[in-house]
C-alpha cells in the first residue's frame, strides 16, 4: 500500500511517500515559507521524481493536529483535496504521536512538545520500548509548569521533541536528555507509519469525514470571547 503523508502543523513542512512501511521519498523544508505556497509544489516534485501520479496513491495521511491553527487547516484541506471523491482511505494522525516516533529508537520516556504560546504547550507522554510507543498521557494543551509537575512522578529523565523544545527545556526542572536537532522536527514519514497502523486497525475515514484536531480555541476566537465577556460586565 502506497501512503502519501504530510505534516504542516508547525514551522517545518514535510511530505513523504511510503509503501508497506518502506520510505520511497521524503521532502522536508524549514525555511519559514507559507505552507499554503509550498506543500503542493513539494508533493508534485516528489511524485515527479518517483514517476508516480496521485491516482496511484492507495491512502492519504495528514498530521491533523494539534499545532498551528493555520498549518493544521492547510494540511487537512490539502489531503481532502487530493483524496476528493476517490473513496480511498484517509487518516488524521496525532501530530504528537508522529513526533514521538522520531526518538523512539531510544528506550525511555518521550514527551513531544509544541509551542502553544503563553508558556503553554501541546503535549503528550509516551514510553518507548524497542521502537514501540506506549501512550501515558493523552494529547493535551497545558502550561509548562503543569507538565513539569506531571513529569515528577516518573523517576527518569525525559526526551523532548517538537518545536516547543527550547522553551520547554529552559523551564522544566525535570531532567531532560539531549537529542539531535533533526529528531526534534516533524517527519511526514512518521505520519505515514502512524497512518499505516491506524488503517490496519480499521480506523481510516473518507475525505469528507477527515477533520482537524485543535484542542483549544484559536487566538481570534479567544480574543472575541474576551471582548464579548467585557461587554457583559456591569458598568
Q: How far is CA 19 from CA 4, 23, 53, 56, in A?
A: 9, 7, 14, 11
Domain limits, the chain: 2-94+186-218, 103-184
Is the pLDDT score of 168 beyond 70?
A: yes
CATH entry 1.10.3720.10 includes domain 2-94+186-218:
no
Instruction: Tell me, yes or no, if the pTM score tops 0.85.
Output: yes
The predicted model gives 156-163 an average pLDDT of 96
Rounded to whole angstroms, how far apart are CA atoms 24 and 42?
14
Q: Which of 108, 156, 164 is nearest to 140 (CA)?
A: 164
pLDDT of residue 33: 66
Query: Which stretch of DSSP H or E encloses residue 167?
Result: helix 165-171
Is the pLDDT score of 234 beyond 70?
A: no
In this chain, the answer to whether the domains covering 2-94+186-218 and 103-184 adopt an identical fold is: yes
Is the pLDDT score of 220 beyond 50?
A: no
- pLDDT tens per residue across span 134-159: 999 999 999 999 999 999 999 999 99
Which residues does residue 29 pair with via DSSP β-bridges, in sequence order? 13
User: What is the DSSP code string of 11-28?
Assistant: S-EEEEEEETTEEEEEEE
- pLDDT tens per residue across span 93-131: 999 999 999 998 889 999 999 999 889 999 999 999 998
The residue ranking higher by pLDDT, 32 or 219, is 32
The domain 103-184: what is its CATH number?
A: 3.30.420.200
The fraction of the chain above a pLDDT of 90, given in percent, is: 84
Amino acid at each position: 500500500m502506497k501512503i502519501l503523508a504530510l505534516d504542516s502543523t508547525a514551522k517545518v513542512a514535510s511530505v513523504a511517500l511510503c509503501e508497506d512501511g518502506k520510505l520511497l521519498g521524503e521532502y522536508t523544508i524549514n525555511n519559514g515559507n507559507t505552507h499554503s505556497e509550498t506543500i503542493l509544489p513539494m508533493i508534485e516534485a516528489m511524485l515527479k521524481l518517483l514517476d508516480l501520479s496521485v491516482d496511484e496513491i492507495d491512502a492519504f495521511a495528514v498530521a491533523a493536529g494539534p499545532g498551528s491553527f493555520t498549518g493544521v487547516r492547510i494540511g487537512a484541506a490539502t489531503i481532502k483535496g487530493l483524496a476528493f471523491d476517490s473513496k480511498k482511505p484517509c487518516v488524521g494522525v496525532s501530530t504528537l504521536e508522529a513526533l514521538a516516533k522520531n526518538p523512539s529508537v531510544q528506550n525511555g520516556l518521550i514527551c513531544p512538545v509544541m509551542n502553544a504560546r503563553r508558556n503553554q504547550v501541546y503535549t503528550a507522554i509516551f514510553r518507548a520500548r524497542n521502537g514501540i510507543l506506549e501512550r501515558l498521557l493523552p494529547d493535551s494543551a497545558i502550561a509548562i509548569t503543569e507538565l513539569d509537575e506531571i513529569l515528577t512522578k516518573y523517576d527518569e529523565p525525559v526526551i523532548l521533541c517538537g518545536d516547543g523544545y527550547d522553551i520547554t527545556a529552559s523551564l522544566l526542572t525535570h531532567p531532560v536528555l539531549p537529542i539531535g536537532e533533526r529528531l526534534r522536527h516533524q517527519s511526514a514519514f512518521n505520519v505515514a507509519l502512524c497512518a499505516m497502523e491506524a488503517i490496519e486497525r480499521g480506523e481510516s475515514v473518507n475525505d469528507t469525514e477527515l477533520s482537524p484536531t485543535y484542542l483549544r480555541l484559536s487566538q481570534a476566537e479567544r480574543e472575541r470571547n474576551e471582548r464579548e465577556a467585557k461587554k457583559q460586565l456591569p458598568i
